[in-house]
């Protein structure tokens, strides 16, 4: 039960239909934050206390403004399946490629600025930034463009390396993380949960603004 004096944290989430999206929803709801998942299909998620769904278009700055208005923070998972977009200029694919990711971030920055929302967590394949000789030069170039766009903006941003994950994990998987749930899933659940907890902690403590970070699961001794 929320204390009446507890400030309401409203988290807008792009990428809720991914496994990391599920981990983030579970963690944010556990902390009694409000979560607004931006989706194409408003019935894709089962109703839960504290969880709302809204339609949107990640590639349209005006729609982004409408979707994020009144929120405290935006979390965008660039490599997630099911990201909402209806723009004619963008080919609708299962997962946006490097070029589409750059376009999405440009619209996200403009829309957030227009709505007066400053805090952004952007999760993507940014580990290539640490390897100038990376094989995927297109992804490297996209990551560099995204970083430059963020640095040129007034947003208070944090870039987060996307963790490896198996597909299809829902909120239920993260409610009670246990190695006995399903064989072979414990490591993935712990990894995704660590990233979700890390982002929630960064938001609470206001850390690593304007930085590129990687959350690494700590192995108990």
Higher pLDDT, 165 or 38: 38
Q: What does the pLDDT look like over 134-168, one tens digit per residue?
A: 788 999 999 999 999 999 999 999 999 999 888 88
Tally Cβ neighbours within 10 Å of residue 161: 19
Q: Which residue carries 């839960």 as its tokens?
A: 48
Sheet holding 51-54, edge to edge: 51-54, 34-38, 10-14, 73-77, 119-124, 156-161, 211-213
Return the domain boundaries, the chain.
10-213
pTM of the model: 0.90
3-class SS of residue 112? helix
Report the pLDDT value the prediction gives residue 177, as an integer from 0 to 100. 59
Q: What are the tokens at 32?
A: 């009694």
Q: What does the pLDDT look like over 97-133, one tens digit per residue?
A: 999 999 999 999 999 999 999 999 999 999 999 887 8
CATH 3.40.50.720 fits domain 10-213: yes
Task: Check: CB of residue 19 under 8 Å from CB of residue 190.
Answer: no
Report the pLDDT value the prediction gives residue 40, as an integer from 0 to 100. 85
Residue 180: which pLDDT band, with cuts at 50, 70 and 90? Answer: very low
Cα 176 from Cα 179, distance rounded (Å): 10
Residue 195 has pLDDT above 50, yes or no: yes
Quote the DSSP letter at residue 40.
S
Q: Which residue carries 């902690």 as its tokens?
A: 201
Q: What does the pLDDT look like over 42-64, one tens digit per residue?
A: 888 989 999 999 999 999 999 99
Report the pLDDT value the prediction gives residue 196, as an integer from 0 to 100. 96
Q: What does the pLDDT look like over 208-219, one tens digit per residue?
A: 999 999 987 554
Higher pLDDT, 38 or 190: 38
Report the pLDDT value the prediction gives residue 67, as an integer from 0 to 100. 96
Average pLDDT, the chain: 88
């Amino acid at each position: 039960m929320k204390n009446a004096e507890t400030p309401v944290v409203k988290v807008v989430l792009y990428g809720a239909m991914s496994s990391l999206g599920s981990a983030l929803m579970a963690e944010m709801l556990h902390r009694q934050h409000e979560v607004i998942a931006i989706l194409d299909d408003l019935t894709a998620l089962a109703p839960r206390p504290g969880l709302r769904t809204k339609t949107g278009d990640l590639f349209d700055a005006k729609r982004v403004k409408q979707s994020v208005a009144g929120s405290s923070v935006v979390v965008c998972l660039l490599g997630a399946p099911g990201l909402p977009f209806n723009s004619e200029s963008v080919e609708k694919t299962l997962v946006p490629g490097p070029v589409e990711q750059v376009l999405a971030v440009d619209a996200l920055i403009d829309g957030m600025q227009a709505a007066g929302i400053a805090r952004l967590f952007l999760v993507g394949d940014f580990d290539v930034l640490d390897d100038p000789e990376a094989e995927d030069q297109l992804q490297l170039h996209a990551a560099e463009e995204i970083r430059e766009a963020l640095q040129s903006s007034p947003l208070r941003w944090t870039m987060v390396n996307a963790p490896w994950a198996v597909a299809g994990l829902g909120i239920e998987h993260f409610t009670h993380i246990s190695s006995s749930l399903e064989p072979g899933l414990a490591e993935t659940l712990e990894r995704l949960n660590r990233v979700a907890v890390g982002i929630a902690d960064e938001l609470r403590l206001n850390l690593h603004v304007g930085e590129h970070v990687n959350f690494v699961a700590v192995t108990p001794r």
